[in-house]
Amino acid sequence: MGKLIDISVPVREGMIVWPGDGGPRITRLRSLEEGSHSNFSGMECSLHTGTHIDAPLHFISGANSIDRVPLEVFIGPAQVLYFPDNEFITADDLENSGLPDETERLLLKTRNSDWWKEGVMEFREDYVALTDDAARWVVEHGIKLLGVDYLSIDHQVHGKNAHSILLGAGLVLLETINLSGVEPGEYELFSQPLNLIGAEGSPVRAVLKKYQDN
C-alpha cells in the first residue's frame, strides 16, 4: 500500500475562516469527568469550514447538491501541479504544465500551502487564486474535481466568476487543502463528503495515496 498523506486542514476553534463567516464551535455536552456515562460533544459550523467540497448547488440554482454528485468523482487518480511563484494561475500556466490529457482530478499547489505549514492563523488577502480563463480551461479539458490550497478558488477582490464557471459546468471544488507535504505528480485521492441531503457543500477528510513510482 502506498503512503497516505493527509491534506486536510485541522478543524478547531479559532481557525481561519472566510471573512464574515463564523468559525467552528465544538461544545462538550456531556463528560465522564462530570459523571456522565460518556463524553459527548456538539459542533456548530458552516459546511464550508476547513477542507470542504463545493457542490454545483453552491452557486447554481437547481444544480446538483452534494448528495447527488456521483461518489466516483471524489475518489480516484489525481494530478498535483505546483506553481510556486504565481500571483494568479492562468490558462497559459495550465496549458504549459504538461498535465496529462486524461486527468479528471486536479489539485493546485501554490505558495498558499506554505502558510499551512507555517501555522499562519490570520486570513491572508494575497492568496493565489484562479483567473477566469483558467477556470474555462479546466472546464474545456474535462476536469471533474479541482482542488486549491486556500479558502477559495476565486480571489476575494475579483469576484466569484471562477466559481460560477466551474460549478456551472458541473465540477466540484475541493477547497482549503494543505499540499505543503506533497510533491507534484500523480496520486490517488480520497475526498468523500458527508451524505447531506440537499446541501451545497460538505466538510471532508481529504487524503492522497502516493503511488510507488512517485
pLDDT tens, position by position, 128-144: 999 999 999 999 999 99
pLDDT tens, position by position, 41-76: 999 999 999 999 999 999 999 999 999 999 999 999
Query: What integer pLDDT is reported at residue 160 of this predicted model?
Result: 75
Which runs of consecutive H residues, i.e. helices, occur in the chain?
91-95, 112-118, 132-140, 161-168
**What is the CATH number assigned to the segment(s) 4-210?**
3.50.30.50
| pLDDT for 91 beyond 80 | yes
* Per-domain boundaries in the chain: 4-210
Global confidence as pTM: 0.95
Q: Name the active-site residue from 58, 141, 155, 163.
A: 58
Active site residue 48: no
35 Cβ contact list (under 8 Å, min separation 6) = none
Query: What integer pLDDT is reported at residue 68 of this predicted model?
Result: 98
| pLDDT for 8 beyond 60 | yes
| pLDDT for 1 beyond 80 | no
